[in-house]
Amino acid sequence: MRDNSQFRLLTERRFLPFFGAQALGAFNDNLYKNVLVILATYQIGNLTSLDPQLLTNLAGGLFILPYVLLSGIAGQLADRLDKALVLKVVKAAEILIMGLAGLGFAQRSIELLLAALFLMGVHSTFFAPAKYGLLPQVLRERELVGGNALVEMGTFVAILLGTLGAGLLVAPRDPSLVAWAVIAVAGAGFVVSLGIPKLAPLAPGLRIDWNPFTSTWANIKVAAESRTILLSLLGISWFWFYGALVLAQLPLYAKLVLNGEQQIVTLLLVTFSVGVGLGSLLCERLSGHKVEIGLVPFGSIGLTVFAVDLYFATPPAASGPALTLEAFLAQPYAWRILADLGLVGLFGGFFIVPLYALVQQRARPEELSRIIAANSILNAAFIVAAALLGAALLEAGLTIPELLLLTGVLNAFVAVYIYTLVPEFLLRFLAWLLIHAFYRLRVRGIENVPESGAALLASNHVSFADALVISAACRRPIRFVMDHGIFRIPVLSWVFRGMKAIPIASRKEHPQTLERAFEEIARELRAGHLVCIFPEGRLTPDGELGEFRPGIMRALEETPVPVVPMALTGLWGSVFSRKEKKLWRRFPRGFASRIGLTVGEAVHPGAVTPDALRARVLGLKETTEGFAAVGRLRAES
């Protein structure tokens, strides 16, 4: 196994005990909840006279209520205290809660079972802020996506196993089996949690507000300080809305629409969970070990496409004897339904993992747990809204397949709205798509781009796609300075505006645009951002490196910052370059063309001159082209 593989974390104490504790907790949580769902759907008459739909909604409300009431306090405690200690205390409490649940199963008491469900909601409320807040403390930035992917994978594998376990334990109808199982798993989770290393509190002086309403509002205000973080939390909450609306329908979808026995419910839930787990793991590979928010729009596309296809894959409601698992799989529509559900889960993984990693990356460490608590509050509100909307639409006469169709369509509208508010998500998707569909990008020296603080990036200018390629390679947002003529090209203009590019012109063409550009460059650098300039001042007409103009010196005079030289190779002759005059000749003859970006060491602003900087970029370009030529020779031989 490679050293940079995400699975390496499973061999290290800083991650493994935490991973095991949270996975066992998710398993127990879902084992218990799915037992209740199956009992409510198929065996409700043995427990209570309540209507099954009323009991299902009541159970969902009891589980989610603590998120609304206690998330504010939970987030503050996780920031003030050692997160490892918080997790251990919560896992100890889980043993007592599962003891109450075991008593409820033994006595077949719906009151005790619902009380235990409420307390499991309290357990999860205090667990979540410490769980997600712990990751940036124990993982390096390049490990954030992989760590989150493993957590999401572990969670949904636990959901899968918990779902399977629920079906197996309910089948014999022996309540003592369920009682002992949930207690044993809780005990195992506590033992594993004892191995989590101690962590330093990040906000030890924080005053805890024990008022659930004011503490909740305070956490939301902390999250709202960053627009990107707040909108990311809303995106996460939308996923939980979507998931709640879909998953809540699956038991009745299996029973009433597919006319299946309870094993069909288990199969549908398992398929969805496997999809989310696989999607989460693929995130780390597709993102190249960095927080790649370009996967979020990719995920939202799949969430819509396959939810809509699920509607068309669903057969008319059947009657007659309930289908066994074997009989269901023999139906011509079965595999399409399972594929749709699995792909909804897969693209859900693409959607959710980068958002969690983005929040962890951009939040201040001492506030992260409170931000995660705000996320729990928003999640709870969205899940409740999903339950209310689903109940209202079904009451109004919508069928379950029609509700699933509506969910997919709503997702498309919400996605478009979010990406108009934060174009960075869509632009990162375009950049990611460019270097995965059209090109194979080889990046060297990207560690020379500073992780924080201002810097001026200087690159050769080969094609219209240069900005997208550089953006795809860099983990930080970049403000690009580009010719005002290119900036106004139809369609591309919208892309460049979304990237907050800075249009520039010569003094002879438009002196006002020139002055505004240098004012904007200075403002961005003073704010600690990255600014990329193409010192040639134009696209290369022949593929060679042109002379560097003196404008870069003016930028450094106003805001002296390190200058990072960069060289792009392989883009000359592409559809985005000016090698061919006729547009039809520019179209690529194949995909996955090799391109490169080489980043040199940062240069002190006092040592920068246009000629010296050009020599550095030219050296990087020639070195990279030499590597590429050697690689081609080796491949041919």
Q: Note whether 318 and 457 are same-domain residues.
A: no
Are residues 380 and 372 in contact, defined by beta-carbon separation less than 8 angstroms? no
Q: What is the greatest pairwise CA distance in the chain?
A: 88
| Structural domains of the chain, count | 2
Q: Note whether 250 and 326 are same-domain residues.
A: yes
Provide the residue range defining the domain that includes 116: 7-421
Query: What is the DSSP code string of 139-173?
Result: S-GGGHHHHHHHHHHHHHHHHHHHHHHHHHHHTTT
Q: What share of the chain is helix, strand, coil (3-state, %, to 5)?
A: 70, 5, 25
| H, E, C per residue of 267-329 | HHHHHHHHHHHHHHHHHHHHHCCCCCCCHHHHHHHHHHHHHHHHHHHCCCCCCCCCECHHHHH
Look at residue 560 and tell me if it is in a domain: yes
Q: Note whether 89 and 166 are same-domain residues.
A: yes
What pLDDT is recorded for position 562? 92
Q: Note whether 456 and 584 are same-domain residues.
A: yes
Look at residue 14 and tell me if it is in a domain: yes
Last residue of a domain, one of 394, 421, 448: 421
Look at residue 406 and tell me if it is in a domain: yes
Query: What is the DSSP code string of 387-426?
Result: HHHHHHHHHTT--HHHHHHHHHHHHHHHHHHHHHH-HHHH
Which CATH number covers residue 493?
3.40.1130.10
Task: Specify which residues 457 forms β-bridges with.
Answer: 532, 564
Look at residue 206 and tell me if it is in a domain: yes
Q: Note whether 186 and 317 are same-domain residues.
A: yes
What pLDDT is recorded for position 338? 93
Q: Note whether 450 and 399 are same-domain residues.
A: no
Q: Note whether 364 and 454 are same-domain residues.
A: no
- Find how far residue 511's CA is from the centre of its chain: 43
Q: Note whether 88 and 210 are same-domain residues.
A: yes
Any alpha helices (H) in 330-465, and if so which ranges? 334-362, 368-395, 400-421, 423-433
Last residue of a domain, one of 421, 444, 471: 421
Are residues 559 and 522 in contact, defined by beta-carbon separation less than 8 angstroms? yes
Mean pLDDT of residues grouped by 10 in the chain (637 residues)?
A: 64 86 87 74 55 63 81 86 90 91 80 86 87 82 78 80 76 68 90 89 84 82 82 87 84 82 82 83 68 75 91 80 84 91 89 82 80 84 84 84 90 81 70 72 86 88 84 82 76 71 80 86 89 86 85 87 90 70 51 78 89 90 65 49
Look at residue 1 and tell me if it is in a domain: no
Q: Note whether 334 and 214 are same-domain residues.
A: yes
Which CATH number covers residue 414?
1.20.1250.20
Q: Note whether 383 and 458 are same-domain residues.
A: no
Q: Note whether 257 and 377 are same-domain residues.
A: yes
pTM of this structure = 0.70
Q: Note whether 383 and 524 are same-domain residues.
A: no
Structure token digits, residue 293 = 């928010």
Consecutive H or E run containing 593: strand 593-599
Last residue of a domain, one of 390, 421, 452: 421
Look at residue 289 and tell me if it is in a domain: yes
* DSSP letter assigned to residue 589: S
Look at residue 428 and tell me if it is in a domain: no
What pLDDT is recorded for position 287? 65
Expressed in angstroms, the distance from the first to the final Cα of the chain is 29
Look at residue 170 and tell me if it is in a domain: yes
Q: How large is the C-alpha radius of gyration of the chain?
A: 27
